[in-house]
Structure 1
Amino acid sequence: MLKEANLMKEAEARAGEALRKVLEKVPILQVEGIDGEIMSGEWQPDLIARLLVDGRPHQLICEYKSNGQPRYARPALLELRNYVAHVASEATPVFIAPYISPAVRQMCEEKGVGYLDLEGNARIAFGGVFIELAVADKPVAEQRELKSLFRPKSAQVLRAMLREPGRAWRVTELSQISGVSLGHVSNVRTGLMDREWARVSDDGLVLTEPDALLDAWRESYSAPPGERLRFYTSLHGSTFEDAARSAMRADSSPGRAAFASFSAAQWLAPYARTGSHYFFADDEGLCKLQAALKLTPSSKGENVVVTVPKDLELLADIVEPAPGAICTSPVQTYLDLCIAGERGAEAADHLRQERLSWPK
């Protein structure tokens, strides 16, 4: 406990120095002092900055949190607003954290609270003073945390939840349906709750912001690792579709394959046809496609692209909008379209409107 308290004190000291550096860049401001919290039984701010603004005194009432995610920011903003309203009415509240995401920055603005993070983002306004700073990149730790939320095992949990976004989930249920460990589900649960994309009800975990979750997934998404194979087929139109559906239809022989990307979108939410057909498949499924579609390898001029992903769970996240038309799920199809260039982005937007709209 003593070690944790000392670490917190050090972090607050760094926050105070970061605040001082930002304030000292404003010519009309004079920083008289930045004081640490005064221990008492009641809530007290972590830092109070005493300023002179053109000779007039002003205070910044600051709260520092080691985690700037919405789950921790929201109560801090409430405490700051209450303190300023009842104790220091002429002061300006400021929320400080190692990193403050755009969503929390917007929350601060809506609540009338300034913000500063240790990455260089800031917005502090009072009287005739307006400070606004922004950096383009997320810090490495934030990027890593988001990436971990969308890695294959975690993604299995998210796909299950997005299939039934209004459902309340117990951790054990999510573990069973997604096929990942209870510990991994708990980590995903924490990540969702920290960002306020989900909440816990009496019945379990419920997605509250599926659109925000999908937006963040899209921003972090890259093509699934695996072997991308290019082929040519002489089959076209309904002859091609019938052969593909016959190859993918469940039977006793091993092998899984599914329409993907633009080809899946044609079944899920038709928008624009392309000259190529796209599939995900495992090794046996690839063999079935090669035989049924008369595929020959092609280094250029290909019209069939088959990806054999390392994460074969992608082939479990499927839908069948017509008999034998096995497609990657709307979520997976959307993500793949988003990285498929301009036409893909347009098709993705259309698919999202048609198949991935949730009640607000």
Structure 2
Amino acid sequence: MVTEKEIINSIKKNIRNLFESTDFIKVNSIKSEVKNLFPDQQIQPDLIVEVKTKDKKKYFIVFEVKSVGQPRYTRMAVNELKYMVSSRKNYYGVFAVTFISKESKQICSENGVGFIDLAGNCLFKFDNVYISIEGRPNLYPNTRPLKSIFSTKSTRALRVFLCNPRKEWFVKDIAKEANISLGQASNVKQRLLEFEFIEETGSGKNSKIKLKKAESLLREWSNNYSYQKNKIRNFYSMDDVEVLERKLIDYFKKNQISYAFTLTSGASRVSPFLRYNRIFTYVSNNIDRIVKDLNFKEVSTGPNVSFLEPYDEGVLYYLQEVNGVKVVSDIQLYLDLKGYMKRGEEAAEFLLERRLKKQW
């Protein structure tokens, strides 16, 4: 991980060239390890750059540096900058980080604070000065701060939050509901707080957590998910889809087999959008027996029924029943549809607008 000291050194090395290449800003001085600049405040800046504009105005650019740029830390830095400069004339606050995310850019912009990262992306906007550089790639792409949130067991906790979007939870209750350890639940909580996907309510022992940015969390998860994580077996039957679905439903009930329709078969029941000629259903076990009893033929092309073996028990969390038929949760359905060909993404967005947003 890049340290704050390394970020400060990078700014000191490059900031003069950035400003003076514009022909309307001259750098007078660069100071780090600033102490007692604001005697009346406990917070002190990490770096101050004194500049003079073309019209002879002097400004002090105050930098607050963080090695990580998750929204929660960005907001903390922004609040510190505002506290330092808000009552001082010709002072401008800038957040510096390894790499600036879209969310962190928005936080800075909303609060009138600039930003800069090690890739050279930046925004300086004060008086008549406007410098903006965007689109430069992360120089440290191996840092994937969200990866741990989407590990198999961690996503069980995500399902609990997203399927119960208005409920407040103690961490121990999340662990129990998601069937994960207390330690795992605590780690997920911390990561979700860092990205402001959830928020804390209350304080001390009475502190609970609840969902804050449901849509952002779901979209981020969908970018890290594919229904093909599940083991898929494909079959063909001579029956048409409507008859075949009825046969499957009756068979599952008669033989007490756990199942849940998904993709086109699930969407047709909760948020009809697509025509389809292929059935998708989760089945945890007994697939060979089902295939034998219903005389299905396993095929590599042209299937009209596909069985998905869940990659984790969380897939079947919060099942819903629609007219006597079991369907995966709306959250799981969205995830599955999002990466499905044949207009699956459109169906996922239709589900989001028609059902999920109303629950949030």
1:240 to 236, 241, 244: 244
Output the TM-score relative to the length of structure 2: 0.87
Mark the CA change 1:17 to 1:257 in structure 2 (over 3 Å): closer, same or farther: farther
Cα offset, 1:140, TM superposition: 2.8
Equivalent residue letter for 1:241: E
* 1:36 matched to 2:40: no
Unaligned 5+ runs, structure 1 = 1-6
Contact 2:121/2:136 (8 A) holds in 1 = no
TM-score by length of 1: 0.87
Describe how 1:265-280 pairs up with structure 2 within 5 A.
265-280=267-282
Q: CA deviation at 1:93?
A: 1.4
User: Structure 2 vs 1, CA of residues 133 and 326 (structure 1 numbering), >3 Å: closer, same or farther?
Assistant: same
Match of 2:23 in 1: 27
Q: Judge which range, 109-118 or 292-301, deviates more.
A: 292-301
SS in 1 for 2:35: coil
2:227 is equivalent to residue 223 of structure 1: yes
Structure 1 position 188, deviation (Å): 0.9
User: 1:18 deviation in Å?
Assistant: 4.8
Q: What is residue 196 of structure 1 aligned with on the other side?
A: 196
1:234, 1:294 within 8 Å by CA — same for their partners in 2? no
Instruction: Give the equivalent residue in structure 2 for 1:80.
Output: 81
RMSD of the TM alignment (CA)?
A: 2.4
Residue type of the alignment partner of 2:353:
Q
Secondary structure in 2 matching 1:140: coil
Relative distance call for 1:190 and 1:294 in structure 2 (3 A) is same
Contact kept in structure 2, 1:71 and 1:196, CA below 8 Å: yes
Q: What residue number does 1:65 align with?
A: 66
Determine whether 1:12 maps to 2:8: yes
From 197, 200, 210, give the equivalent of 1:206: 210
C-alpha distance in 2 between matches for 1:281 and 1:12 = 55
Q: Report what 1:166 is aligned to.
A: 166
Q: Distance in 2 between matches of 1:257 and 1:201?
A: 37
Task: Give the drift of 1:98.
Answer: 1.5
Q: Deviations over 1:238-283 (max 9, x none)?
A: 422221212333855xx53321211111112111121211122234
2: CA distance, partners of 1:119 / 1:190: 27
Structure 2 spans left out of the alignment, 5+ residues: none
CA distance in 1, matches of 2:51, 2:63: 13
Distance 1:207 1:141, change over 3 A: farther
Secondary structure of the 1:278 match is strand
Alignment CA distance shift 1:222-1:14 (3 Å): farther
The amino acid of 1:229's aligned partner reads R
Q: Deviations over 1:19-41 (max 9, x none)?
A: 44533543333323321142236
Residue in 2 that maps onto 1:258: 260
Q: Aligned partners of 2:232 and 2:242: how far apart in 1?
A: 25
CA displacement, residues 79-111 of structure 1 (integer Å, 9 cap, x when unaligned): 222322223x11321111112211110111111
Q: Which amino acid aligns with 1:196?
A: E
Corresponding residue number in structure 1 for 2:114? 114
Higher mean C-alpha deviation, range 52-61 or range 90-99: 52-61
2: CA distance, partners of 1:77 / 1:8 = 16
Q: Is the 8 Å Cα contact of residues 224 and 311 (structure 1) preserved in structure 2?
A: no
Equivalent residue number for residue 4 of structure 1: none
Identity among equivalent positions (%) equals 29
Which amino acid is 1:231 matched to?
F
- 1:123 and 1:288 mapped to 2: Cα distance? 62
- Kindly indicate whether the alpha-carbon contact (under 8 Å) linking 1:248 and 1:258 is maintained by their aligned counterparts in 2: no
Report if aligned partners of 1:256, 1:315 keep a CA contact under 8 Å in 2.
no
Q: Which runs of 4+ in 1 moved over 6 A?
A: none
TM-superposed deviation, 1:151: 1.7
Q: Please tell me whether the aligned partners of residues 248 and 326 of structure 1 are also in contact (alpha carbons under 8 angstroms).
A: no
Mapped contact 1:45–1:62 kept (Cα < 8 A)? yes
> The residue matched to 2:322 in structure 1 has which SS?
coil
Read off the aligned partner of 2:133 and give its amino acid letter.
Answer: L
Task: From the superposition, tell whether residues 358 and 152 of structure 1 become closer, same or farther in structure 2 (CA, over 3 Å).
Answer: farther
* Structure 1 pair 359–133 and aligned structure 2 pair: CA distance change class (3 A): farther
Cα distance in 2 for residues equivalent to 1:172 and 1:20: 51
Amino acid across the alignment from 2:295:
K
CA deviation after TM superposition for structure 1 residue 288, in Å: 4.8
Counterpart CA distance in 2 for 1:122 and 1:359 is 38
Residue pair 2:123, 2:130 contacting (<8 A) in 1 also: yes
Post-superposition Cα deviations, 1:38-82, rounded to whole Å, max 9, x if no partner, equal 223622221111223326233211111222222122232122223
Q: Which residue of 2 aligns with 1:330?
A: 330
Amino acid at match of 2:34: I
Q: How far, CA to CA, are the matches of 1:177 and 1:251 in structure 2?
A: 28
SS of the residue 1:356 aligns to: helix
